[in-house]
Structure 1
Amino acid sequence: MLTELLDSLHAGDGRPALPGATRGELAELVRGYAVALADLDPGDTIALAVRPGPRSLATLLAAYHLGLRVAVLDPTAGPDVLRARLALAAPKLVLADAAAQAVAGWAARLARRAHLALPELGAIAPVRTVGRRLPGSPPALRPRPGRLPRRYEGEGDAVIVFTSGTTSRPRAVVHTRRSLTAGMTAVHDLVRPVPGAPVLGGTFFVLVPSLAGGAPVAFPSRRALPRQIRELNPQATYLTPPQIRAGLAAGARFTGRVYSGSAPVSAALLSAVRRSGAAEAWGVYALTEVFPAAAVEESEKAAFTGDGDLAGRLLPGVTAQVAPDGELLLSGPTAADRYLGDDPFEWVATGDIGRVTEDRKVVLGGRAKDMILRRAENIYPGLYEPSLHVPGVELALLVGVPAGDGDEHVVAVVQTTAGADERTVRSALREPLARMGSARPDRLVFARIPLAGRSRKPDRQATAALAARR
């Protein structure tokens, strides 16, 4: 898929690609950055801290063309964690834009208020500035003139994506050139981009398949999403659940096909997207280690009445099995190769409790680590949380609150939609709560559920602390 995109980019092509760049301009950037990075050897690692846009995509494509490995930096992880991650990745070169350098330098104190922080980048590896260079910044990595270097035709690592882990033991997912291409091919087949019609989405796994299919891509607006959708009329949109909820609250009217993932996607949320105008609404089950793994359309998810959360049918080539402790294991072409420094995966442990039906549908029962122990009974929240999404409920979690002697109380924390009447919602929840049997909560709390991480997932630990205070 990446090779297909690279081959489709030609200088002088005036068709739009990304905000601020035509396909021809993107082609020139890729060629220029490939020339500028040609002194590095295939397999060398470069670390990238560049905001999404034409230059970051061109740098990634140039690195892939040369056979380099890219370690993606997340400025929200904190400087100590990032320093440990970079020590593990051992990059030969750090590429950072002016914003990333400011976060690591003169604007560090201000950036920390926005939960952004980077270590002093120059202490890790040589730094080059991508894009606009401010006074005092390291030398610029400028696109150079010249012929496009010869394409690397071998296999090997393509990208390092850091996930959970500790400062002493970072965890880094390594995708190879093969798994990266398989993942983006799977996204292409799922999204089915039509040439010329816009796609709205900001992740690399959306950018490449869409552009390879001839569709221009726009990045989701944080402040004016309803107007952006109205003006673009996108054929497909990929947003996280919090982005969708914010868009719906602001009155967004969706068009085409809408996809959501990176955090649990409820049937109620997908149904709300359909009611807002979308032709289709899809939940995508994906991990950093397996992207993507399964998908489900709104009508099928809404019709599911069994215990647990229907995550969808496994995508072609993806296989699954369930470990003796109930954990879902995945394998297939879209699976990463390994964690950096570890042996290759035989099966990827998802951390999710789940089962697989005879027709290859995945039903999740929550995270294994989220299990609640009450009166010597194991309660998996994910089995029961979908039933709490009655009309008027935006988010709902079951959490455990210590009750002494190792036992826990089960608390249902419910966040209502804007304008919903709490008494009406409480009444609507009576029947779902009664059907939960031995897992029925000891308490029902109405509160706003804390979110965490870049994908703004519900924060169970913070929610449990909130429930304990209540």
Structure 2
Amino acid sequence: MLDRLDHALRARPERPAVLTATRGGAPRVRATRGELAELSDAFAAALHARGLRAGDTVGVAVRPGPRALAVLLALWRLGLRGAVLDPGAGPEVLRARLALARPSLVLADAAAQAVAGWARPLARRARLALPDLAELGPVATVGPRLPGCAPGLDLGATRAGVPVHGGSDGDRDDDAVIVFTSGTTSRPRAVVHTRAGLAAGMETVSALFAAARPDEPVLGGTFFVLVPALTRGAPVALPARSPRVLARQLRRLRPQDTYLTPPQLRDALGAGARFGGRVWTGSAPASAELLGRVRDAGADEAWGVYALTELFPAAAVESREKAAFEGPGDLVGAPLPGVRAEVSAGPDAQLLLSGPAARHRYLGEEPDPWVRTGDRARLDGAGRIVLEGRSKDMVLRRAENIYPGLYEPALHVPGVELGVLVGVPAGDGDERLVAVVQPRRGTAEATLRAALSEPLRGMGTARPDALVFAEIPLSGRSRKPDRPATAALAAALLKGGRT
């Protein structure tokens, strides 16, 4: 896919590739296809001139957009392994992750360096501004430099003799990318995808997003949206950060496909956004109610995509199929082509996934063909995946194990923006089960309390001990519900007499 993208960009260099939005939502060309190919060539030449060779690791802390995509293409061309770094993770976490990945070079834009607090020390030494990290390699600035940033990457390096590593079959088992996921500061965990696995994942996405109108725009900001869309000739618009501007952007652009996270969808709907074509969402749970609202707002189809850092994507379900599901749990759809799904034996009933797009291994560990998702699940009679909650989110109440994910879909009645079940300590190792519900703007709590009475009764022995209304804290890049913070909030509200 990345090889085909490189050829596709050069075939129509004058066409727009990446769009951004003005405050009024009008599309603005951020980069043409030719400019993207040219930037990729310049990055490849600069990295090769610095002595980087196939198999070396390059840390990448560059915001999504043309530069980040050009860096990815350059790494792919040279056979380099990219380690995706989150500059906002904090010094201790960043230190542990860099110690594990040991990049030969870190590429960072000025914003990433500012967020990470690297700028001042980098003015003294072009190295990571974290204690005792000088041995982990230098830093080079990608894009405009600000005062205190590391020296810029030399984009004037000669391009003669730069190898093309991307097209050979013999390198398909080589590492392509490292993405950090769970783990602690002392023991970070990093997912390693090979070149073959990364290519398989992008092929799956391309088949899922297949469109009949290659020149019409797509709205989305992730690599798994950018690469397939640009390969088939569609320009990609990066979503505006402001919900109001995003709503205007959708109106002006009228994309054939839109990919937004559930929080972005909720914010856009709150700003009065109208949709069209197909809308896709993932990275965090998407309820049938949310997908239904997207279709009510004009989308022809609204899809929930079940994906993990270890396997993207794994399954998908359209809003009408999800809404028609009446059993307990969260239907996320049938496994996509090539994906195998099994449920482990025993009480944890954990979902196991495998397939060509699955991660090869965790960095520092042996390869394993099966991804242990941490999700409790079952496969229904049609072979579809039904999630029953995260194993680690289990609540222990009166010696009964309660998995919130099995019951949370019932909380998403009309007027509910977001709803979760959390455990609050009740003494002697027991917990109270609390439903925390975030009302949609303009919906009265009394109305929601009445609408929720029947769903709560229908939970049987898992009926919550209390119902509280509050804005649910979110965390991480995908802005998933922060369960520990929500549990602490629920405990404080109950202590204050809010039930």
Superposition TM-score, scaled by structure 1 size:
0.95
Residue of structure 1 equivalent to 2:113: 101
Query: How do residues 119-198 of structure 1 correspond to structure 2 at under 5 angstroms?
Result: 119=130, 124-143=136-155, 144-147=157-160, 149-152=162-165, 153=168, 154-155=171-172, 156-193=174-211, 194-198=213-217
Superposition TM-score, scaled by structure 2 size:
0.90
1:359 partner amino acid: A
Q: Deviations over 1:94-136 (max 9, x none)?
A: 1111222233447689xxxxxxx97477663111111112344
Given the superposition, is the C-alpha separation of residues 147 and 211 from structure 1 closer, same or farther in structure 2, using an over 3 Å criterion?
farther
Residue of structure 1 equivalent to 2:6: 6
Classify the secondary structure of the residue corresponding to 1:10. Answer: helix
Question: Does structure 1 residue 396 correspond to structure 2 residue 409?
Answer: no
Deviation of 1:274 (Å): 0.2
Structure-2 separation of matches of 1:444 and 1:320 = 35
Structure 2: unaligned runs, 5 residues or longer: 20-29, 122-127, 494-499
1:55 partner amino acid: R
Given the superposition, is the C-alpha separation of residues 136 and 465 from structure 1 closer, same or farther in structure 2, using an over 3 Å criterion?
closer
Structure 1: unaligned runs, 5 residues or longer: 110-116
| Count of matched residue pairs | 463
Structure-1 separation of matches of 2:11 and 2:70 = 13
Structure-2 separation of matches of 1:210 and 1:243 = 20
Structure-2 separation of matches of 1:124 and 1:235 = 44
Given the superposition, is the C-alpha separation of residues 11 and 92 from structure 1 closer, same or farther in structure 2, using an over 3 Å criterion?
farther
Residue of structure 1 equivalent to 2:25: none
Residue of structure 2 equivalent to 1:303: 324
Contact 1:78–1:118 (8 Å) recurs in 2: no
Match of 2:350 among 301, 319, 327: 327
Deviation of 1:408 (Å): 1.0
Report which stretch shifted further, 318-327 or 120-129: 120-129
Residue of structure 2 equivalent to 1:112: none
Question: Does structure 1 residue 352 correspond to structure 2 residue 365?
Answer: no
1:218 partner amino acid: A
Deviation of 1:299 (Å): 0.3
Given the superposition, is the C-alpha separation of residues 12 and 236 from structure 1 closer, same or farther in structure 2, using an over 3 Å criterion?
closer
Contact 2:118–2:130 (8 Å) recurs in 1: no
Residue of structure 2 equivalent to 1:40: 52
Question: Does structure 1 residue 24 correspond to structure 2 residue 34?
Answer: yes
Contact 1:102–1:108 (8 Å) recurs in 2: no
Given the superposition, is the C-alpha separation of residues 118 and 216 from structure 1 closer, same or farther in structure 2, using an over 3 Å criterion?
farther
Query: What value does the CA root-mean-square deviation take over the aligned residues?
Result: 1.8
Residue of structure 2 equivalent to 1:113: none
Q: Percent of pairs identical after alignment?
A: 65
Match of 2:63 among 51, 56, 61: 51
Runs of 4+ that moved beyond 4 A? 105-109, 120-123
Q: Deviations over 1:262-289 (max 9, x none)?
A: 0000000000000001111000000000
Structure-2 separation of matches of 1:142 and 1:56 = 16
Structure-2 separation of matches of 1:97 and 1:297 = 37
Residue of structure 2 equivalent to 1:229: 250
Deviation of 1:357 (Å): 2.2
Structure-1 separation of matches of 2:363 and 2:464 = 41
Given the superposition, is the C-alpha separation of residues 375 and 105 from structure 1 closer, same or farther in structure 2, using an over 3 Å criterion?
closer
Question: Does structure 1 residue 371 correspond to structure 2 residue 394?
Answer: yes
Q: Deviations over 1:118-177 (max 9, x none)?
A: 747766311111111234433221333434733212121100000111111000000111
Classify the secondary structure of the residue corresponding to 1:226. Answer: helix
1:427 partner amino acid: A
2:38 partner amino acid: E
Question: Does structure 1 residue 312 correspond to structure 2 residue 333?
Answer: yes
Classify the secondary structure of the residue corresponding to 1:171. Answer: strand
Report which stretch shifted further, 185-194 or 369-378: 185-194
Residue of structure 1 equivalent to 2:301: 280
Q: Deviations over 1:228-260 (max 9, x none)?
A: 111111010111100000000000001111000
Classify the secondary structure of the residue corresponding to 1:292. Answer: strand
Given the superposition, is the C-alpha separation of residues 425 and 181 from structure 1 closer, same or farther in structure 2, using an over 3 Å criterion?
same
Contact 2:119–2:150 (8 Å) recurs in 1: no
Contact 2:104–2:136 (8 Å) recurs in 1: no
Contact 1:75–1:118 (8 Å) recurs in 2: no
Contact 1:237–1:258 (8 Å) recurs in 2: yes
Given the superposition, is the C-alpha separation of residues 104 and 468 from structure 1 closer, same or farther in structure 2, using an over 3 Å criterion?
closer
